[in-house]
Amino acid sequence: MKKFIAKNIWLLSLGLLLITSCAKKSDDPQPENNEPFSSALIERQQVVQIPTAFANNNTNRFAVETRGYINATNAVFTAYSGFLAIPANSTSNGNGSWTWTDFQGNQITYTSTLANGQYSVTMDAKFSDGTAYRVYEATERQDGTLGKITWFDTDGTAALVMDWKYENGLFTSTIVSDGQRFVSESNDNLSGTIKVYDNDVLIFTGTWQSTGAGECVSYNSDGTQNETGSW
């Protein structure tokens, strides 16, 4: 999980720079309907929700290990969904477009549109040296039950892909970054599962019940079973 965390620390640091504006707030009133898109992820807060008994189990190492993967998933979704928002002192250009300048002099453009029941959101950065790149592309169903965010490196390659779906009391989410994939299922009754893959090889799976009890299995890099545990 170290390379997954290291990669996303870099992306998060870049994102913090891009959403920090030093532009002066416009004195011109903005139209009331000229509001930027707000993701349903922000309201959910944690994509993987667990019972209190599991959250407070700090004595069983298998529970702690499983919760580590859950916490990593929640942290990434929480941080990145926050970047779908824009600074309060950004300038509205109309037609769902906003711009601002960060502390390093980079010009950021955020655009959101709604068509056929789906929001499409993009953020583009133009650096002070004249180079430009797309920071992310995001889509979300208007009712908030389905969405996807793709974050890009400065060379244009996809660095992180997050998608989610909520249906019939089940919230599923996937994170793909640097060869690793985290797949989680979170039920409304607080039971769920999480699976972790490294280069498409399953290396960990955890399952927990609404009571807080659970079990997990870790695997070697060749896919063979390494260890099992329960709590």
The structural domains of the chain, ordered by start, are 2-20+49-230 (3.90.930)
Is the per-residue pLDDT at 30 higher than 80? no
H-type alpha helices, the chain: 2-19, 40-44, 52-55, 61-82
User: Residue 157 and residue 174: Cα distance in Å, rounded?
Assistant: 18
Confidence (pLDDT) at 81: 74
pLDDT class of 22 with cuts at 50, 70, 90: very low
Is the per-residue pLDDT at 143 higher than 70? yes
Is the per-residue pLDDT at 163 higher than 70? yes
Q: Could you tell me the pTM of the whole model?
A: 0.82
Confidence (pLDDT) at 205: 98
pLDDT class of 218 with cuts at 50, 70, 90: very high
Pick the more confident residue, 42 or 57. 57
Write down the residue that tokens 């950004």 correspond to: 90
Confidence (pLDDT) at 77: 86
Contact 208, 194 (CB under 8 A): no
The percentage of residues in the chain with a pLDDT greater than 90, rounded to a whole number, is 61
Which is nearest to 112 in space by CA: 145, 75, 78, 147? 147
pLDDT class of 80 with cuts at 50, 70, 90: confident
User: Residue 93 and residue 17: Cα distance in Å, rounded?
Assistant: 21
Confidence (pLDDT) at 170: 97
H-type alpha helices, 97-217: none
- Non-local CB neighbours of 98 within 8 Å, separated by 6+ positions: 36, 86, 90, 91, 92, 109, 110, 111
> For residue 101, what are the CA distances in angstroms to 22, 35, 107, 145?
6, 19, 5, 32
Confidence (pLDDT) at 35: 67
